[in-house]
Every structure is written in structure tokens, then in C-alpha cells.
Chain A
């Protein structure tokens, strides 16, 4: 099954991943999807987005418009979901 990742600009810059469709095994949960995503991160800045292989807690994960609580990665996926990832920005 496939899910689609959409990353905000700064998150794409830092992770080196532009987003797009990712193939997952049937019955995969959000945890598997995020692990797959993290495996695509490249570049020196991307290391700051990970903590023990997991996404930094400041990265907001939204599945089909529903916000996931930090640390809750047990959300089941059916395929076809859009997973939006936001990294809060700082600057002004």
C-alpha cells in the first residue's frame, strides 16, 4: 500500500526529502511509515530532526487532517493517506 508524505519547506530543506508517495507493507501503522520516512533523511541538518531514530518531538504529524499526539505512532493506516509533517519555524 502507499501513503503520501507532504513536508513543509523548512522540513524538506533540513531532511533532504521532498515528500511524495512511499510504499509500505499492508497493515502498516504510522510508526512504520515514519520509520520509512526517517530512512530517507539525508544530509547533516537531518540528524537534528531525529532523536534515537525517531522524529524530533517538535515535528507535528497530521494524518488526513487529524493531528497525532506526540509519541502516538500506533495509528493504523489503510493506504492512500496523506501524512502532513510540519516543523514549527522560528524567525522574524
Chain B
């Protein structure tokens, strides 16, 4: 099992720790590799943010929102054509810790859309390449942690308590549903984003109330692994998902919780549909039982 981790601080600016192989860094405290939990880093959330001054001019962000971003941890499944631009925008915005899972080695046909990959890295694992790209653009105090594996139920369970937001950017329903189910179970917000051809969708799932991804997709329909994709489409939807993610982390209002945002790029149409919680949804039922409430 390969693990790639990176943590920089104002004192060890951009000094990469060597990749290590086991055990996995833990979400809380300090891992065996010495990777501090950024949530416990006294510098995090209190730094001056000269590089983020212009975005702090946004009324809904400001200095208070910026501090929240810096203190936030985000868990992403996949940083490819959609998740790559998404992670890029989160890193640029100053999110304090980005943790992602992305399995596999880079192949040439990834390069037309996976903006975090190195064209010289064909045949090499994708995750460290993405991590290196993110650490180049992230604030020096940011922590980027990358796993060269597909996220498992155990991974999701281990990390979810430590994250402020989970984001599904994988091309498979299975990974997105796994992350969505686990987020709902742990009462964490979840953003799901996907695309196919010229079409895309985003769903922001509230930590506890309203419908979840499983309400929308009770069972995955047939899908194609070799989906048609143009970087202009996957990056657009990735950045739109990043926008909502940043607003959630910053505590901005309103958030389109439970509304399916559907885009068709060719038709230039954007439609929002308010979903309803499915009474048959096992994820919502389990969450309600666990939390002793019914919504």
C-alpha cells in the first residue's frame, strides 16, 4: 500500500517528507511518520493571509471565512479531470488540509484533462504527482495528504471524523456513494460532482437534514468506464463544486442543500431541482437511528 504525504509549515516551507509505505497516517494527532494533525497546529487559522487578500474582499468570505478555510480539512475521492481542478481551487483558496485518494498509474490519455499530473510521469503513480502539483500552489502552511489507493469503507470510516467536508469526484458511483453514505452517518457535509459528455451534476448534501446521494441513486445505473470527457467540461464542473465547497467551509449562506444542480454545456442550460428524502433510503434510516432522530 503506497502512501504519499506532505506537510509544510511556515518554518519548513515546502520541504517534502519522503514517501513512506506504512502505516497510514491517522486523521487525528500525529502519525507514525510525524505528520501533525493540522487541526491541532497552533499556527493554523491564525496566520495573516496576504496572498488571499483579494478573495477576502468577497462579502461572504472575509477574514473570518478565510480563517475557517485555513482550519478546515477536506477529504476527496479522486483528483482526475474533475477532482483535479476542484482540489486546485481548494488549495488556491487556502484550505488547510486536503486529503485525497486516487489509485493507479498515469497513462497518456489522462493528460488531456488531469491538470495535476506531470506529462513526464507516465507510468508513475498519479497520487504523488497530484500532491506535488497541489503543494506547489498551496499556502506553505497547508497540508496535502495523498493515497495511491482507491478509498475503502475502512478508509472512509477512519477519516470522516476528522474532516469538515467530504467531496465525491470519482468516476464511479461506488466511491461516491461510499463517501456520501459515510458522511451522512458521521453528520458531515458532502458535495458530490460528476459529469458525462457535455452534461454534469452537483449535489450538496447537508450533514443531517434532507436527501442524501443514496436518495437520488438508490442503486447505480449502468455506466461506461470510458466515458466521453473534455477537460473544459470536467474542469468547469470541478470548479463549480469547489465554489460550493468553499462556501460550505467558510460558513456562507445560502447553500443549495438537497438541490440537484444539472448542467448541459452544449445547451447552456442549468437546472436546479429540489430533491426529497426517500423513505426507502437505507442510509438516511441508519443515520436517523444512529443519531436518535428522524428528519
| CB atoms of A9 and B223 under 8 A apart | no
Q: Say yes or no: is A75 at the interface (Cβ < 8 Å to chain B).
A: no
Whether A9 contacts B197 in the complex (CB less than 8 A), given A84-B273, A91-B171, comes out as: yes
Q: Say yes or no: is A54 at the interface (Cβ < 8 Å to chain B).
A: no
Chain B binding surface SS class:
loop
Give chain B's interface residue range (CB within 8 Å of chain A).
35 or more
Identify B220's interface contact among A8, A70, A84, A90, CB under 8 A.
A90
C-alpha gap A92/B236 in the complex (Å): 11
Which B165-212 residues sit within 8 Å CB-CB of chain A?
169-173, 176, 193-201
Determine the chain A residues whose CB is within 8 A of the CB of B196 once the complex forms.
10, 89-91
C-alpha gap A49/B219 in the complex (Å): 12
C-alpha gap A58/B229 in the complex (Å): 22
Q: Say yes or no: is A20 at the interface (Cβ < 8 Å to chain B).
A: no
Closest residue of B by beta carbon distance from A14:
B222
Q: Say yes or no: is B25 at the interface (Cβ < 8 Å to chain A).
A: no
Determine the chain A residues whose CB is within 8 A of the CB of B83 once the complex forms.
92
C-alpha gap A65/B199 in the complex (Å): 19
Q: List 29 A-B contacts (CB under 8 A).
A: A9-B199, A9-B267, A10-B197, A10-B199, A45-B222, A49-B221, A56-B221, A58-B220, A60-B273, A67-B274, A67-B275, A67-B276, A69-B276, A69-B278, A70-B218, A86-B260, A89-B195, A89-B197, A89-B199, A89-B223, A90-B171, A90-B176, A90-B220, A91-B194, A91-B196, A91-B223, A92-B82, A92-B169, A92-B238
